[in-house]
Amino acid sequence: MSAAADPSTLHEEQIARAIETAIAEDIGPGDVTCEFFVDARQQGDGRIVAREAGVVAGSRVAAAVFARVDPELRVEIERPDGAFLASGDAVLTVKGAVRSILTAERVALNFLQRLSGIATLTRRFVDLTADTRAVILDTRKTTPGLRALEKGAVLAGGGVNHRFGLYDMAMVKDNHLAARGDLEFLQRAITRLREERPGVKVELEADTLEQVRGFLGLEGVDVILLDNMSTHDMAEAVGLGGGKVKFEASGGVNLETVAAIAGTGVDFISVGALTHSARALDYSLELKQHHP
């Protein structure tokens, strides 16, 4: 992928590939159980129902799974992405051949439970920082091949996407700085990036207040990442910035610490746990069969 590509197109392509891969993985050459144990003429109505409270994500993806397995199935989304669910609420309904409904069931549920889990966890972080300026960001710590879907789930939960990949933002972290991180070199690199890729933002990672002071003397820096700093040092860094740049907090962020971190005045808080540690939301399919 190149920086010149249309990100929205890339994301739609990734979602389509993810659905195709999941269907091929689960169904393979065919659903042998339905082939031998379910009458091909049998029709039914299905409802995917939440078994616990949470935030929906993946409703369109689940609907697309049913349509891909059998275009004649009639699918209706009852709760769109971002909607809050109570236990017992239906997310979508599907009508048509029972064989097709049962064949698509697990893949649809897998997407829904994973993505809704991310959205639900994201909403908890967002709610805990609601009275501050801080925006909750995701990271690149995503399931390989599912980044577009998982970042979409973060949006459904009220969070904001950080960079999508290595191509859409320059993020100079400690290992990049270890290679060569003197301020003169950094300024030359930032200036060249601004000339050649004017739309690409620049973020520098700081581990200490001394680094923050040095980075604040550079031209062209958009964001300074405060990595694993104490809340005291974060607040001091924000004061040093004087509104010149944005600040992002990272490291040690969880549901117990996020409110205090947000209280330091940082603009962003990145949370890897949104996508790498979210618990799946519990869903099930309720099926009523119409006998031939």
Q: Which two tokens stand for residue 280?
A: 């799946």
Angle between helices 7-27 and 59-69 (to 10 degrees): 50
State pTM to two decimals: 0.93
pLDDT of residue 36: 96
With cut-offs at 50, 70 and 90, classify the pLDDT of residue 292.
low
Percent of the chain exceeding pLDDT 90 equals: 90
Look up the CATH number of domain 126-276. 3.20.20.70
Q: Give the neighbor-by-neighbor strand order of the sheet with 90-97.
A: 74-77, 90-97, 43-50, 283-290
pLDDT of 2 over the 50 cut:
no
Give the strand pairing for 283-290 and 43-50: antiparallel
DSSP 3-state of 269: strand
Domain ranges across the chain: 7-119+279-290, 126-276
DSSP 8-state symbol, 38: S
| pLDDT tens per residue across span 187-217 | 999 999 999 999 999 999 999 999 999 999 9
The 10s digit of each residue's pLDDT in 35-91 is 999 999 999 999 999 999 999 999 999 999 999 999 999 999 999 999 999 999 999
Nearest to 280 by CA among 172, 150, 102, 163: 150
pLDDT (tens digit, 9 = 90+) per residue, 103-114? 999 999 999 999
CATH class, 7-119+279-290 region: alpha beta
Residues that are catalytic: 106, 141, 173, 205, 227
